[in-house]
Each structure stands twice: as structure tokens, then as C-alpha cells.
Structure 1
Amino acid sequence: MFNFHFDTVAGLLVVLIILGVISHNSAITISACILLIMQQTALAAALPWVTRHGLHIGIIILTIGVLSPLVSGKILLPELKELLTNWELLTAIAVGVFVAWLGGKGVSLMTLQPTLVAGLMIGTVIGVAFFKGIPVGPLIAAGILALCLDIIR
């Protein structure tokens, strides 16, 4: 049932689990545990499917979570007049566009250079554990990294 092949990837997953526990980051802890279990069992056969579709499914679930307060009525849409005249709302829209663009660059970077994902995850966990950060997601971090790499190159 278990393969028990402890390689560099398994070691990284264990480090992520430890850092996730230390930083109280349940998303990283749970994700790394699931992947470690998958790697060490017959569920490893499903890893190519997760690799192909996991990010897309995760974005769908995240979008549902973000939109649900709007749909449930907990957040009300502003009137069109307020939307077009309130500088804070206009700034929020501009920032939203910028962050979505960064996320798109992040997906491209993560697809083209998947080895950087481990560094982004470790950096995110360290930021949460030691600098009281919030894990807003590796996509934006990857987007910022892609922007930096574009500037440097």
C-alpha cells in the first residue's frame, strides 16, 4: 500500500507540513499532507490529473468563495453612480484588474518554470510563520516574481 520512497520531493512536503503547522497555515499543511499521502500510495496514479486540473479547480473554488457573500446578500453591490464617482471604488477596480493580470502572469510562470513553485510556497509559509503575513496565494507571488524576472531580463 505505501511505497515509502523518501526523496527530495517527500522531504520538501514534510518541510511544508512542519512550516504549515508552525505558521498555523492549514491550507499548506492539508495540501502537503494530501500530496505526501498520494505520493506514497497507489493514489500517485492520480497525480498527473491533479497536475493538469488542480490549479483550475482551485481557482473555481476560490472564485465561488469570493462571490458567495455577494450572492448571499452579505455584500451589496454599489449603485452605478457611486461606482463611477467614488475614487476608492474606482481604485479598487484598478487594483483588482492589476492583481488579476499578475495572477495570469503567475499561472504562466508556474506552468513554464514549475521548480519555482517550491520557493514561492516556502517563502509564503515563512512570511506567515515569522512575519505575521497572510497566505494570499502563490499565484500573485508568482505574478510578482514573473514581473521582476521580466524587468531583470
Structure 2
Amino acid sequence: MSIQFNAIALMLVLLILLGVISNNNSITISATLLLLMQQTFLARYIPFFEKHGLNIGIVILTIGVLAPLVSGRIKLPNLMEFLNWKIFLSVAVGMLVAWFAGRGVNLMGSQPVLLTGLLIGTILGVAFLGGVPVGPLIAAGILSLLLGKI
């Protein structure tokens, strides 16, 4: 079986290399799986992931965030701790970030070409600024504000 290198395959290889260099396993694994899918009979499943992948990923991410609460490793704060200004600020920031992510989903849906730049920016942020690779949705939301898009 020969690998058909087109612009998308080349971009995926570049993302794999950037993922390896920046030690970003999510990008490396995702781009590798998509490259393998693109180059094999699994290509027929790519539209499924295009349609449902973001929702599946959000469900898995939410499970990861809630698991420490369910396991008891993190305790829910009592009522007096909830009245702390830091809790109110954390709720407000959480709402703002969720709003950014919502805007990001809309922007990525309407202008998917921007996703490559956002991913590269996220990878560079992880590699050179000590960031964490959870930013493309938030970055897209902030970008939508800067671009004046909804």
C-alpha cells in the first residue's frame, strides 16, 4: 500500500512533528490517527468524527473533570466556602470560558480554515510558553471576538 501524499497528509505530518517536538500527545495521537484513517479503508469513518468528534471529546473531557468529584478525591465546598469571593470569581471565569468555547465552536464551524492556525498556535504555546494543550476552542472564541464574528 502506498501513501498518497497530498496537502492534507502533509499538514497532518507537520502536526505530528510539531506534536512530537512540543511533547503534545493529544495533537500527535490525533493527527497520527487521522493520517492513518485518511490513508486506509478507515477514511469512510472520518465524516462520523467530523460530525460527532467535538461532542464526543467534550463528553470525555467532562468525565475527566467530574471524575475526581465522583471518586471523592476532591470534596465539594460547604456553604460557607461557597460564599467566598474566589468561588464567585471562579464561577464567573468558568462562565466566560464556556462562552468563549461556544463562540469558538461557531467560528470553527463557519471558518474551519482557521483551525490549523489555532492548532499551530496552541502547539507553539505548549512548546515555548509552558502551556497546556486545551486551548483551541477557547482560542477560537477569543479570535471570534477579535474578528467580530458570532
User: Per the shorter chain, which TM-score range?
Assistant: over 0.9
Q: Distance in 2 between matches of 1:133 and 1:96?
A: 18
Where structure 2 has 5 or more consecutive residues not aligned to the other structure, the ranges are none
Match of 1:148 in 2: 146
Letter in structure 2 aligned against 1:76: K
Match of 2:85 in 1: 87
Letter in structure 2 aligned against 1:12: M
User: Structure 1 vs Structure 2: percent identity of aligned residues?
Assistant: 59
Match of 1:38 in 2: 37
Deviating above 2 A after TM superposition, structure 1's stretches of 4 or more consecutive aligned residues are: none
TM-superposition CA deviations, 1:39-76 (whole Å, max 9, x none): 11111111111100000000000000000001111111
Q: Distance in 1 between matches of 2:5 and 2:26?
A: 23
Please tell me whether residue 20 in structure 1 is matched to residue 40 in structure 2. Answer: no
Letter in structure 1 aligned against 2:46: L
Match of 2:9 in 1: 10
Q: Distance in 2 between matches of 1:99 and 1:31?
A: 24
Residue pairs, 1:1-153, within 5 angstroms: 2=1, 4-83=3-82, 85-150=83-148
Once structures 1 and 2 are overlaid, which stretch shifts more, 99-108 or 126-135?
126-135
> Cα RMSD (Å) of the superposition?
1.5
With normalisation by structure 1, the TM-score equals: 0.93
